[in-house]
Structure 1
Amino acid sequence: MAQKVGVLAIQGGYQKHSDMLKSLGVEIKLVKFANDFDSIDRLVIPGGESTTLLNLLNKHQIFDKLHSFCSNNPVFGTCAGSIVLSKGESYLSLIDLEVERNAYGCQLDSFVTDLSFNNKNIVGVFIRAPKFVVVGNQVDILSKYENSPVLLRQANILVSSFHPELTQDTAIHEYFLSM
């Protein structure tokens, strides 16, 4: 059976993730309502603004449904999506990870750099990116930038502090689809 990937589409850069996944031949569902989770097999939580995203999740009453779905299915959070999945009082707390928001600087400090992932060179686009500051023992570090982890996996949860959807390289999305 073909998998259907949901892309959380209430705020942030969901269109680029959707386009990249479509380029891989994947059926996409833009997730905007609680019942949208019923028709997907996995989910991408895109970057954007984490406080705004959390407020909208609560306003639209889908925070609990999101938590339930992410507890049992493959999920990929980029930038703000990684913050939402991390440990914290108002976060989903589904990966043993503590983050520092905007730790790589403000919008003007955004940068592009080479990274290594699965013995391959990839490009990392960092835009107001969070830093992964405390990583639990059960979390696998898949890529680093200047000795700091920037791509992590714990069981069914994949997070990146950067934006792979803003490049032409599909390696990380392909990895997510194989989880």
Structure 2
Amino acid sequence: MIAVFILLDGLLWLISLLLFVFSAWGFYKLARLLWEKIRRSFLRPGTAQITFYEVFTPDPEDIHVQDTRPQVHLELDCERHGQRFQISLGPLTCEELFPALDLPAHHVACWLSEEDWQQLLDKRWITIACDWRQRKAILTSQIRNDRRLLLISFLSLSLFTLLVTLPLLLH
């Protein structure tokens, strides 16, 4: 009988240890994601020149494809503090690409001919944020979304803290 209790106690201890490890790993991943969002939200938008582009249409028979409209992959020449470097951006849908080119997004505009894509993208400047540390380009719309997410998170955390500490202050 005592052996069963020792075995159950050991099993419970092992399960609690595994739960602690998984929660610590989850907290670590959440903290890294939050830190990345904070870092990206402080990037300043700028411009970069398109040096190369590739327009491709996803295969509609691929089960992982949700959008069969053309997508664009861009190679950009970015400059920051006098240093120039090449970064890539994409694949982008036209809803993401056109606002970065200061053009209105329209569903029909995705189906341009090769000459129209060339005229639209060849040596064009695009509004992005250059993340020179990771050699990555980030759309300004993504930065706005990150800032919005951080603001909502901060307000939620502030409200939660207020609701938790308010009863303590009233006593």
Do they fold alike, i.e. is TM over 0.5?
no
Name the TM-score, length of structure 1 as normaliser: 0.23
Name the TM-score, length of structure 2 as normaliser: 0.24
Flag the structure with higher strand content: 1
The structure number with the bigger radius of gyration is 2
